[in-house]
């Protein structure tokens, strides 16, 4: 993975705040996407899908 296009997704945790801080790394097409991304992805700490928000890598 090219390091210059690498972005970091950080979990906001579940409704009780459990699993907050778990990270995923991915890439983003910076030409077509100018906003901050937000995804629902699987959090292995909580064993549920939680919201992940883009942060500085």
Burial of 19-44, coded b for 16+ CB within 10 Å and e otherwise, reads beebeeebeeeeeeeeeeeeeeeebe
Tens digits of per-residue pLDDT, 18-41? Answer: 889 999 999 888 788 788 999 999
Residue 47 has pLDDT above 80, yes or no: yes
Q: How many other CB atoms are there within 10 angstroms of residue 9's CB atom?
A: 19
- pLDDT at 13 (0 to 100): 87
Q: Which two tokens stand for residue 57?
A: 């890598």
Which residues, in sequence order, are CB contacts of 44 under 8 Å at separation 6+? Answer: 22
In this structure, what DSSP letter does residue 5 have?
G
Its CATH class, for the domain covering 3-55, is mainly beta
> So what's the pLDDT on residue 1?
64
């Amino acid at each position: 993975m090219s390091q210059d296009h690498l972005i970091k997704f950080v979990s906001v945790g579940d409704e009780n705040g459990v699993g907050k801080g778990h990270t995923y790394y991915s890439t983003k097409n910076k030409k077509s996407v100018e906003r901050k991304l937000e995804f629902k992805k699987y959090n292995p700490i909580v064993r549920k899908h939680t919201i992940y928000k883009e942060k500085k890598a």
